[in-house]
């Protein structure tokens, strides 16, 4: 029988590596909850329409979606991103605005797997509904920035653009189409045929031909209406005021179509440039209404966990936090002693593990050392009879001593506390 393996483009994370994931999530929760965001949990799959409404003409929705018919004949899709689900949940539950939500979870895209690009990948993110204020754009961009800093990352670049709104986007779009018509012979095969449908996608195309055309294309930031111009000035001015460095990225449009006004991405400069986007986001002031809800402005970001961890590796930060347990119970007595002692330790809040199956002394102490515990509690047949337990430090001087069984939990707590 052939060996079973995880699907292409996915991976397993085992301890101690998974402890870094836990640490990353804890840091994220601390940063965003400290700014008033509450956790939202939405399903991993949705009605296909939820995603079709957010990006019918994007690669993410057209080519990369895991969609299928379920056993009840419903057309569903594994989520390729979380924003669409959170918008759907907002419309369904109508929480009081401004509504500030954060999430963590996996997404699915049928992409060509490579380093930093997976078919199931994980994101942490935030969304805010019901505030159009440019100061909120500053808050959102700053929270992403603070999160990277809190992880110890120093080589992250924040790139910012504005995509305008319903007033200034249509005339800009027309200008862009006019420019692309003149240069259509220089576009990649895909965009030569399709640029009229969604000209902004050309600006996001990674093929060298389109990149060259995009470099000279008209820029939305140079064609903003007064309101969008003022919004952009306030948002970027806020970053300056907070001392957060940013660069203007005039061709930054992002992979989905719903963005308006402020659009941004974080690049991990320690990573290979092909896969260095560690997160991105922007405003989507029309999206809630487009998805059938009341007209409500929104903004958010999504940050890629795998890429962030790669950046942490490259910058030598976020080591796996220390071992899981403080105490390891070594059992030479058999019977009930180890079971009961371990349960008492845990009930007293001491992180404790134990050996099973009556293994040899050598094997048990090997496991005890590997557990990272500071103390071993050794339960031998003589001790059990004498009503004592041996306490043995697993670091430094390993001399052990006997402690009365009924005092050992308190003694361990005292030793660990000091």
Q: Could you tell me how many residues of this chain bind ligand AMP (CB under 6 A)?
A: 18
Helices (H) and strands (E) in the chain, counts: 16, 16
Least distance in angstroms from the C-beta of 9 to ligand AMP:
8
Given the rule CB under 6 A, which of 111-119, 210-218, 292-300, 403-411 is the region that contacts ligand AMP?
111-119
Per-residue DSSP letter, 4: P
- CB of 79 or CB of 223, closer to ligand AMP: 79
Least distance in angstroms from the C-beta of 157 to ligand AMP:
13
- Between the alpha carbon of residue 317 and those of residues 91, 301, 387, the distances in Å are 40, 23, 47
- CB of 279 or CB of 380, closer to ligand AMP: 279
- CB of 123 or CB of 262, closer to ligand AMP: 123
67: closest CA among 116, 108, 97? 108
Given the rule CB under 6 A, which of 301-309, 310-318, 335-343, 386-394 is the region that contacts ligand AMP?
301-309
- Distance CA(399)–CA(64), nearest Å, equals 61
Least distance in angstroms from the C-beta of 111 to ligand AMP:
5
- Distance CA(106)–CA(54), nearest Å, equals 18
- Distance CA(201)–CA(204), nearest Å, equals 5
Q: Give residues 79-108 in contact with ligand AMP (rule: CB under 6 A).
A: 81
- Distance CA(259)–CA(59), nearest Å, equals 16
Say what angle helices 17-33 and 305-315 make with each other, to 10 degrees: 110
Rule CB under 6 A: say whether 144 interacts with ligand AMP.
no
Characterise 282 by phi-psi region: left (phi > 0), alpha (psi -120 to 50), beta (else): left
Say what angle helices 337-347 and 408-417 make with each other, to 10 degrees: 50
Q: Of residues 37, 99, 102, 118, which one binds ligand AMP by CB under 6 A?
A: 118
- Distance CA(166)–CA(407), nearest Å, equals 73
Rule CB under 6 A: say whether 180 interacts with ligand AMP.
no
CA dihedral 9, 10, 11, 17 (to 10 degrees): 100
- CB of 302 or CB of 379, closer to ligand AMP: 302
Least distance in angstroms from the C-beta of 171 to ligand AMP:
27
- Tell me the H-state helices in 316-400: 337-347, 361-370, 381-386
Rule CB under 6 A: say whether 307 interacts with ligand AMP.
yes
Site string for ligand AMP, 33-62 (x = CB under 6 A): ------------------------------
- CB of 107 or CB of 342, closer to ligand AMP: 107
Q: Which residue is nearest to ligand AMP (CB)?
A: 304
Least distance in angstroms from the C-beta of 158 to ligand AMP:
12
Q: Give residues 234-293 in contact with ligand AMP (rule: CB under 6 A).
A: 254-255, 277-280
- Tell me the H-state helices in 218-286: 226-241
Rule CB under 6 A: say whether 117 interacts with ligand AMP.
yes
Rule CB under 6 A: say whether 111 interacts with ligand AMP.
yes
Given the rule CB under 6 A, which of 68-76, 187-195, 242-250, 303-311 is the region that contacts ligand AMP?
303-311
Helix (H, G, I), strand (E, B) or coil at 69: strand
Strand partners, 280: 265, 302
Rule CB under 6 A: say whether 300 interacts with ligand AMP.
no
Rule CB under 6 A: say whether 148 interacts with ligand AMP.
no
Q: Give residues 183-222 in contact with ligand AMP (rule: CB under 6 A).
A: none
Given the rule CB under 6 A, which of 117-125, 291-299, 321-329, 393-401 is the region that contacts ligand AMP?
117-125
Least distance in angstroms from the C-beta of 219 to ligand AMP:
20
CA–chain centroid gap for 385, Å, is 53
- CB of 8 or CB of 385, closer to ligand AMP: 8
- CB of 191 or CB of 254, closer to ligand AMP: 254
* End-to-end Cα, the chain, rounded Å: 54
What's the burial of 166, exposed, middle or buried (CB within 10 Å: 0-12/13-18/19+)? exposed
Q: Of residues 20, 109, 261, 405, which one binds ligand AMP by CB under 6 A?
A: 109
- Distance CA(385)–CA(177), nearest Å, equals 88
Least distance in angstroms from the C-beta of 164 to ligand AMP:
20
- Distance CA(409)–CA(283), nearest Å, equals 55
- Distance CA(257)–CA(276), nearest Å, equals 21
- Distance CA(299)–CA(195), nearest Å, equals 27
- Contacting residues toward ligand AMP, per CB under 6 A: 81, 109, 111, 116-118, 121, 123, 254-255, 277-280, 302, 304, 306-307
């Amino acid at each position: 029988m052939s060996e079973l393996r995880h699907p292409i483009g996915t991976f397993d994370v085992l301890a101690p590596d998974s402890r870094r994931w836990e640490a990353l999530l804890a840091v994220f929760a601390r940063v965003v909850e400290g700014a008033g965001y509450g956790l939202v949990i939405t399903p991993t799959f949705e009605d296909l329409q939820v995603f079709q409404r957010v990006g019918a003409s994007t690669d993410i929705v057209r080519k990369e979606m895991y969609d299928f018919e379920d056993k009840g004949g419903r057309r569903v899709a594994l989520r390729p991103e979380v924003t669409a689900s959170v918008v759907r949940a907002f419309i369904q539950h109508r929480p009081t605005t401004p509504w500030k939500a954060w999430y963590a979870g996996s997404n699915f895209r049928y992409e060509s797997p490579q380093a930093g690009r997976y078919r199931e990948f994980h994101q942490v993110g935030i969304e805010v509904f019901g505030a159009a204020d440019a100061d909120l754009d500053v808050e959102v961009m700053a929270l992403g920035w603070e999160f990277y800093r809190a992880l110890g990352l120093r080589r992250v670049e924040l790139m910012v653009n504005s995509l305008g709104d319903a007033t200034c986007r249509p005339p800009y779009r027309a200008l862009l189409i006019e420019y692309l018509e003149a240069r259509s012979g220089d576009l990649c095969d895909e965009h030569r045929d399709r640029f009229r449908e969604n000209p902004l996608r050309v600006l996001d195309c990674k093929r060298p031909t389109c990149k060259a055309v995009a470099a000279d294309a008209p820029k939305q930031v140079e064609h903003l209406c007064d309101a969008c111009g003022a919004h952009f000035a306030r948002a970027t001015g806020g970053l300056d005021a907070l001392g957060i460095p940013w660069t203007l990225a005039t061709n930054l449009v992002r992979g989905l179509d719903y963005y308006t006004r402020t659009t941004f991405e974080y690049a991990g400069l320690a990573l290979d440039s092909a896969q260095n986007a560690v997160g991105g986001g922007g405003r989507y002031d029309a999206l809630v209404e487009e998805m059938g809800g009341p007209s409500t402005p929104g903004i958010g970001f999504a940050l890629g966990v795998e890429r962030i961890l790669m950046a942490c590796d490259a910058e030598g930060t976020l080591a796996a936090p220390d071992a899981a347990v403080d105490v390891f119970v070594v059992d030479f007595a058999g019977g009930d002693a180890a079971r009961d002692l371990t349960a008492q330790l845990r009930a007293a809040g001491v992180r404790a593990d134990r050996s099973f199956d009556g293994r040899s002394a050598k094997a048990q102490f090997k496991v005890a050392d590997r557990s990272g515990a500071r103390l071993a509690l050794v339960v031998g047949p003589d001790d059990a009879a004498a009503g004592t337990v041996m306490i043995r430090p697993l670091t430094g001087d390993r001399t052990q001593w006997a402690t009365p069984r009924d005092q050992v939990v308190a003694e361990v707590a005292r030793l660990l506390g000091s």
